[in-house]
Structure 1
Amino acid sequence: MPTRRYNISPARCLALFLALLAVAETKADVETVPVPPFSAQTDIGTPDSAWEPLTFPNIDNRTVYSFKKEDEIQVVQAETDNSASGLITRVQLDPTEYPVLSWRWKISNVYESGDARSKAGDDHPARVYVAFAFEPDKAGFFERMKRKAASALFGAELPGRSLNYIWANKLAVGEVVPNPYSDATRMIAVNSGNAQAGSWVSVERNILADYREAFGEEPPGIVGIGIMSDSDNTGEAATAWYGDIALGNRPRGNNDLGHEAQ
């Protein structure tokens, strides 16, 4: 068989080498901070675990969280049926240093009557949320007193604003709306509808840019990362699966920040 020769100029070889070097340096420069990986946990949803339960007053029917294997990797499965509860891990992080939030998830279905813009439809088969520190100097007197009473009742300092990244039922991808129950929370649709139901989807978001867009100012520190699958308002049912969540100083992939990474 004759030897095949390729004529590549020295200048083109140099350009190719520099491009490969830039890619290698970009990957090497990615730094992440510890968000307890689901793939390495042995306990979940207990007060002593890295991911503790997040429950709500007057909601007794809670979402069931458990470990499952997907392609030999441990993930969290959430089963919700007219229920609501979440899991949260407490952190103390500066979003200006680690602004890139990435994760992967999968759902069985969205809700026919789900709608992030109404209280009756405020259910989502999957959501990942970022909780920020409360800023008392920006809150009114009655809000400060209400939060002080709630903290005394529940025995923990309550966060301030939050970003909820949702697998939306009806919102268009990229749409941002206030939560119907709280103006301190913004709902951001990163997936929507049933088109990708049953498939794993990877997402990467710039929480610094998202906070600025949602609230029009710079964010305070991050105090918690959470997941939740809920259906208490619609009375419907769904199953969701969550892979590891990471916070990094720069994107892992080539997608633009603030957009879904397929």
Structure 2
Amino acid sequence: MTSKRFRYSCALTAALAAFALTGVADSLAPKPFSALTSLNDGWEPLEFPKIDRHSEYRLVTEDDTQVVMAQADNSASGLIARLSVTPGEQLLLRWRWKVSNVYEGGNAREKAGDDYPARIYVAFEFEEEQAGFFERLKRGTVKALFGEELPGNALNYIWANQLPEGEFVANPYAEETVMVAVNSGADMAGLWMTVERDIVADYRRAFGQAPPAIVGIGIMSDADNTGEAATAWYGDIELLSPAAVQ
């Protein structure tokens, strides 16, 4: 198990480094899945080089609307959209999703249970002036090895198994990533759920300060730690000002 955890941590570093956050952002909001002709249109694979099995993503039609279906089976990978968005005083993230099941071995507090049938990943710009020596050293090493900058802090909105809805916990692999349980348990499995979150308020609660720019938003369905399987469906992901939802 120790060997697998080490490989996972290295793979995550490599995958995020490969996400070329120094490049030019494609847009100010993720391209809606309902309007895509291909998953390559504004979205990029987020794959883990040292994890052999990748989750599968494809466009499907559900209730006359195009969505992304993700299938995880002892696998891990995602899709991520490159952005450049300053959150300001308030910024709402809204999406809908559905899962077939949760994982019996899922546990957001432990590395062995760090799997989710569905998650939304929000990556923020790295703030070097607030980082400690070892964090700067780690990032310098990654840049030397991969030629890319890592993002900074991240929020992971998850469909959890054991973690109660509304709970915030640090990711067991990386404390700069905070997991937020927005749905939990199997009671609502098989049903479409709509979620709306204030990214600014969540970031302040997670990290104790105002958020920097958002540099990426992704989806991920993974099952490589638990070895289980699930299917998830993701609808459009929207970034909205408060005025837009009044």
- TM class, shorter-chain normalised? 0.7 to 0.9
Partner of residue 189, structure 2: 197
**Change beyond 3 A, Cα 1:209–1:231:** same
Match 1:78 to one of 70, 74, 77: 70
Match 2:33 to one of 29, 33, 38: 38
Match 1:171 to one of 138, 154, 163: 163
Contact kept in structure 1, 2:90 and 2:198, CA below 8 Å: no
C-alpha distance in structure 2 between counterparts of 1:97 and 1:138, whole Å:
20
Unaligned runs of 5+ in 2: 1-27
How much identity, in percent, do the aligned residues show?
A: 62
The SS at the match of 1:120 is helix
Partner of residue 242, structure 2: 250
Match 1:139 to one of 110, 131, 141: 131
Asked whether 1:153 is paired with 2:145, we answer yes
For residues 110-153 of structure 1, give each alpha carbon's deviation from its aligned partner in whole angstroms, at most 9, with x where no partner exists: 00010000000000000001100001111123322321332343
For residues 198-254 of structure 1, give each alpha carbon's deviation from its aligned partner in whole angstroms, at most 9, with x where no partner exists: 010000000100000111111111000010000000000000000000001117668
The AA in structure 2 aligned to 1:228 is M
The SS at the match of 2:175 is strand
Partner of residue 225, structure 1: 217
**Change beyond 3 A, Cα 1:168–1:135:** same
**Change beyond 3 A, Cα 1:117–1:251:** farther
C-alpha distance in structure 2 between counterparts of 1:77 and 1:251, whole Å:
31
C-alpha distance in structure 1 between counterparts of 2:105 and 2:162, whole Å:
9
The AA in structure 2 aligned to 1:128 is I
Contact kept in structure 1, 2:125 and 2:153, CA below 8 Å: yes
Partner of residue 204, structure 2: 212
Which TM-score applies when normalising by structure 2?
0.85
C-alpha distance in structure 2 between counterparts of 1:102 and 1:188, whole Å:
14
User: What displacement does 1:97 show?
Assistant: 5.8
Which TM-score applies when normalising by structure 1?
0.80
Asked whether 1:130 is paired with 2:122, we answer yes
Root mean square deviation of aligned Cα: 1.5
Contact kept in structure 2, 1:165 and 1:189, CA below 8 Å: yes
Greater Cα radius of gyration, structure 1 or 2: 1
C-alpha distance in structure 2 between counterparts of 1:165 and 1:43, whole Å:
25
User: What displacement does 1:56 show?
Assistant: 2.0
